Homo-oligomer: A and B are copies of this chain.
């Protein structure tokens, strides 16, 4: 069975888990504690990041963008990157927005400072970074809300990797109780739609030692 090396609270791993599940591609998962820099894992991915997907034929795919592009090429049913050139441009722009800008401005400031530093033994959270993360969350929720108000799904008329990327990043912050959903009703409604998809269910049952998600995390009618 193909195997995904992941971490439960890695937004990039969650994006790939959602993509695999939406495409109904079965997979096993193994937690990879990347900070231990395991030698066999470094051989698979010298960047030593999760996710890494290993196919049954041995093909090893590192980097979440490379994995998602691969999945749409190798398993074209239920395309996640859009059909026309213009759709694909918009999907990839938004995936880059969430993986790059949202992660740098919000996710890294909150999740990395509050959770990963402790796990990786890299010192105390930086209060300035955490404040910046909360401040940046607000305009990002507004942007998601605006997209959700103007289109059926974030990148257009169908569910795409843009929705999966956005939901993956938000779900990690929601797990650690960092999202005030009252800030934007449209973003909340879109996220409720994402949460109720079967692909999302495994993410809602993730448990991580030392973290108790808020009651609404797994509640589909939050």
Q: B-contacting residues of A (Cβ < 8 Å)?
A: 45-47, 59-63, 65-66, 69-70, 73-74, 85-86, 88-89, 92-93, 96-97, 100-101, 143
Q: In angstroms, how far is the closest chain B Cβ from the Cβ of A150?
A: 13
Pairs A-B, 6 closest by C-beta atoms: A66-B92, A63-B96, A61-B89, A62-B93, A66-B93, A63-B93
A89 touches B65 (CB 8 A): no
Closest-by-CB residue of B relative to A45 is B93
Q: In angstroms, how far is the closest chain B Cβ from the Cβ of A126?
A: 15
A65 touches B65 (CB 8 A): yes
B70 touches A89 (CB 8 A): yes
B93 touches A85 (CB 8 A): no
Given A47-B97, A101-B47, A143-B46, A86 contacting B59 (CB threshold 8 A): yes
Q: How many protomers of this protein does the assembly include?
A: 2
Query: Which residues of the other chain, B, contact A65 by a CB distance below 8 angstroms?
Result: 65, 92, 96
Q: In angstroms, how far is the closest chain B Cβ from the Cβ of A141?
A: 14
Closest-by-CB residue of B relative to A81 is B69
Given A70-B88, A73-B85, A74-B85, A93 contacting B61 (CB threshold 8 A): yes
Query: Which residues of the other chain, B, contact A47 by a CB distance below 8 angstroms?
Result: 96-97, 100-101
B59 touches A85 (CB 8 A): yes
A45 to B100, CA, bound (A): 14
A88 to B97, CA, bound (A): 23
Given contacts A63-B97, A66-B96, 10 further A-B contacts (CB under 8 A): A45-B93, A47-B96, A65-B65, A65-B96, A66-B93, A69-B88, A70-B89, A73-B85, A73-B88, A74-B85
